[in-house]
Structure 1
Amino acid sequence: MDYFIQLLVSGIAAGLVYGFIGMGFAMIYRATGVVNFAQGELMMLVAYVAFTLAATFKLGFWPLLLASVAVSMLIGLLVEVLLIRPMLGQPVFSTVMVTIGLAVIIRSVVVLIWGADPMPLATGLSTTPIRLGPAGVYPAQLHALGIMAMVVAGLWVFFRYSRVGIAMRATANLQTVALLMGINVKRIFALSWALSAGLAAIAGVLVGVIYDLEPGMWLTGLRSFPAVILGGLDSVFGAALGGILIGIVENMSEGYIGRGMKEIAGFVLILIVLMVRPYGLFGKPDIERV
C-alpha cells in the first residue's frame, strides 16, 4: 500500500507539469485552431532563461517565477506577431509547420547558448523531501500543486467574468461572429499566445527546480500532449486534469509493469479514450447542421 501511495503522489506531481504544458496547448488551439508543436521547446527556452536570471540577480523561487512568466509572455507575443500573424488566412497545416520549425530552432539555440550539460536551477528551495504519510515529496512539488490551484482559479475567473476573457471565449466559438461584434481577433490571438507562453514558463521553472535543466527536457512537452488530447483539445481546464491523470498512469504503469512503460502509457491511454470519446473527456463535439 505504501508503494502505491508513493507512486500516486509522485504521479500527481509529474502530472502537474504536464497539466501546465497541456493548458498552454489548449489555450492556443481554443483561440486559433492551431496546435503549437513548439510548446515544449518554449518551456525549455524559458527554463534556461530562468537559469540565467537566477544566476545573475540571485532571485528566489517566487521572484524568479514571476520574472520568467513576464519574459515568457513577451516571447509568446513576439512569436505571434513575427511568425504566426503573417500566416493568417493560410492553411492550418502551414502554420503548424511554422511551429515545428520554431521548435527545431529553439532546440539548437539552447544548446548553442547554454551547452548540453545538465545544470541545476538554484532558487533557494529546499531539496529535502517532506514526508506525507508513507510518501515523500519535494517542496517544489508542493509549490506546483498550490500554483496549479491558483492558476486554475484565476483562469476560471478570467474567462467567466472579465471582458477580455469573454471575448476570448467568443473568438474560440466562432471567429467570424466575434469580428462582426467588434472584437479585435488579432489582439485575442496575441493574448492567447502570451498566456500559453506564461503557462510554459511555470512548467519550465518547476521542471528545472525538480529535475535540473538539460536540452532533452523539450520531450516533456511531447509527453504532455496526451494530456490535452485526453482532457479535450479545446478544454483548458480539461487539459489540467488530463495532465494529472497522465502522470498517475505513467507512474503506475512503470511501477507495476516495468521500465519503458512510462514513455508509452500516456499514448496508449489516449488511444483507448479516443475510441470512446474522439473529442476527449471534456472536449465539445463539433456538430455540423446540414
Structure 2
Amino acid sequence: MNYFFALLGSGLAVGAIYGLVAIGFAIIYRATRVINFALGEMMMLNAYIAHTIGVHTALGFWGLVPVVIVVSVLLGLVIEFVLIRPMIGEPTISIVMMTVGLAVFIRSLVVLVWGAAPLEFSASPGDIVLSLGPVRLYLAQAIAIGLLLAIMAGFAVFYRYTRSGIAMRAAANDETVALLMGIDVRRIYALAWVLAASTAGLAGLLISTIYELGPDMSAFGLRGFPATILGGLDAVGGSAAGGFIIGILENLGEGYVGRGLKEIIGFVIILVVLMIRPFGLFGTRNVERV
C-alpha cells in the first residue's frame, strides 16, 4: 500500500505540471482556435532564462517566481505581436505550422546558447517532505499541486466575473459578433498568449526544480497535450483536471506494468477519448446545422 501511495503522490505532482501546460494549450485554443505546439519550448526557454538570472543574482526559488512571470509575459507578447498578429485571417493550419517552426527555432537556440547537457538548477524551495495523510510529497511537488489548484480557481473567477474574461469568451464564441460589439479582438488574442506563456513559464520553473534543466524538458509540452484533449480543448479547468488524471495513470502504469507504458499511456488516452468523446470530458460539444 505504501508503494501505491508513493506512486500516487508523484503522479499528482507530475499531473500538476501537465495541468499547467494543458491550461496553456486550452487558453490559446479557447481564444483563437489555434493549437500552440511551441508551448513546451516556450516553457523551456523561460526556465533557462530564470536559471541564468538566478545564477547571476543569487535569487532563491520564490524570488524567481515573479521573474519567470515577467519574462513569460514579455515572451508571450513578443511572439504574439511579431508572429501571430500578422497571420490573423490566415488559415488555422498555417498558424499551427508556424508554431511548429517556432518550436524548432527555440529548441535550437537553447542548445546553441546553453548547450545540450543538463544543468543543475540554481534555486530550490528545499528538500522538506510533507505528509498529507498516507501521501508524502517533497515541497516542490506540493507547490506544483497547490499552484495548479490556485490557478484553476483564478481562471474560473477570471472567465466568469472580469470584463477581459467575458470578452475572451465572447471572442471565442464568435469573432465577428465580438468585433461588432466593440471588443478589441487583437488585445484579447495578446492576453491569451500572455496568460498561456505565464502558466507555461511556471511549469518550466517547477520542472527544473523537481527534475532537471535540459533541452529534453520541452517534451513535457507534448506530454501535457493529452491532458488538454482529455479535459477538453476549450475547457481550462477541465484541462487541469485532465493533467491530474494523466499523471496518476502514467505513474501507476509505470509502477505496476512497466516503464514503457508511461511514455504512451497519454496518447492511448487521446485515441480513446477522440473515438468516444472527441470534445473531451469537460469540453463543449459543437453542434452545426446543415
Q: Which amino acid aligns with 1:66?
A: P
**1: distance between equivalents of 2:66 and 2:27?**
20
How far the C-alpha of 1:135 sits from its partner, in A, is: 4.1
What are the superposed Cα offsets for residues 170-190 of structure 1, whole Å, 9 maximum, x if unpaired?
111111110010000000000
What are the superposed Cα offsets for residues 194-234 of structure 1, whole Å, 9 maximum, x if unpaired?
00000101100000010010111111111111000000011
Task: Name the residue aligned to 1:197.
Answer: 197
How far the C-alpha of 1:251 sits from its partner, in A, is: 0.5
Task: Name the residue aligned to 1:36.
Answer: 36
In structure 1, the gaps of 5 or more residues are none
**2: distance between equivalents of 1:249 and 1:162?**
35
Task: Name the residue aligned to 2:64.
Answer: 64
Note the aligned Cα RMSD (angstroms). 1.2
Q: Report 1:51-130 matches (<5 A).
A: 51-130=51-130
User: What SS does the aligned partner of 1:123 have?
Assistant: coil
What are the superposed Cα offsets for residues 79-127 of structure 1, whole Å, 9 maximum, x if unpaired?
0110011111111111011100000000000011111111122324213
Task: Name the residue aligned to 1:289.
Answer: 289
**2: distance between equivalents of 1:124 and 1:58?**
11
User: What SS does the aligned partner of 1:76 have?
Assistant: helix
| Number of equivalenced pairs | 290
What are the superposed Cα offsets for residues 222-253 of structure 1, whole Å, 9 maximum, x if unpaired?
11110000000111111100011000110011
Task: Name the residue aligned to 1:138.
Answer: 138
**1: distance between equivalents of 2:125 and 2:142?**
11
How far the C-alpha of 1:131 sits from its partner, in A, is: 4.3
How far the C-alpha of 1:278 sits from its partner, in A, is: 1.0
Contact 2:124 2:209 in 1 (8 A): no
Correspondence 1:260 to 2:257: no
Task: Name the residue aligned to 1:222.
Answer: 222
**2: distance between equivalents of 1:124 and 1:95?**
37
Report % sequence identity. 57
Q: Which amino acid aligns with 2:144?
A: A
**1: distance between equivalents of 2:91 and 2:82?**
17
Task: Name the residue aligned to 2:27.
Answer: 27
- What TM-score comes out, normalization by structure 2 length? 0.97
Q: Which amino acid aligns with 1:289?
A: R
What are the superposed Cα offsets for residues 37-87 of structure 1, whole Å, 9 maximum, x if unpaired?
000000000010110111111112222011101111110111011001111
Contact 2:45 2:106 in 1 (8 A): yes
In structure 2, the gaps of 5 or more residues are none
**2: distance between equivalents of 1:274 and 1:207?**
28
How far the C-alpha of 1:152 sits from its partner, in A, is: 1.3
Q: 1:269 to 1:124 in 2, by over 3 A?
A: closer
